[in-house]
Amino acid sequence: MKTRIVSLLAALTISFVISGPAFAHHSMSMYDSGRETTFKATIMEFDWANPHAQIIFTAPDDHGNTEKWVAEGPSPNRLANGGWSKETLKPGDQVTIVGNCNKNGSPTMRFVRVTLANGQELQARRRYF
């Protein structure tokens, strides 16, 4: 009986150790969630891949110079539930991107919504209120 309990506990411990990384995820605290920034952007690339879709775009900075940005979003599955597809954004598309910039000042952000040239607005996350 004691051997069975020890074996069961060992199996449970191994299961938790092996499955632990599946629950790991990074925080979004690096982004300034209290402030949204808007960019008139030109799409360079739309990476429709797990764990997070990414939009690589260029936008003018405060001095009129073109700057390359990387915008991180939710997973493709979440975006698809909001009407997005891997064909939504193509290189050269002119869009408006709204998101939360990185607190460290790097040209990275978490996108909140994108307005396409035809006026269609797509949310990155579903709103429940």
pLDDT digits (tens, 9 = 90+) for 83-106: 999 999 999 999 999 999 999 999
The whole-number pLDDT of residue 3 equals 73
The structure tokens 């390359």 sit at: 68
CA end-to-end span of the chain: 54
Per-residue pLDDT tens for 48-77?
A: 999 999 999 999 988 999 999 999 999 999
Reported confidence tier of residue 19, pLDDT bands at 50, 70, 90: very low
Give yes or no for a contact between 35 and 101, defined as CB atoms under 8 angstroms apart.
Answer: yes
Name the residue ranges covered by the structural domains of the chain.
37-123
pLDDT reading at 4 higher than 50 = yes
pLDDT at 7 over 70: no
Q: Which of 99, 92, 85, 93 is nearest to 116 (CA)?
A: 93
What does pLDDT average to over the chain?
86
Model confidence at 42: pLDDT above 90: yes
96 class by beta-carbon count within 10 Å (0-12 exposed, 13-18 middle, 19+ buried): middle
Fold of 37-123: OB fold (Dihydrolipoamide Acetyltransferase, E2P) (2.40.50)
Tokens of 71: 């915008």
Biggest alpha carbon–alpha carbon distance for the chain: 75
- pTM of the predicted model, to two decimals? 0.77
Residue 24: half-sphere exposure toward Cβ, Cα within 13 Å? 6
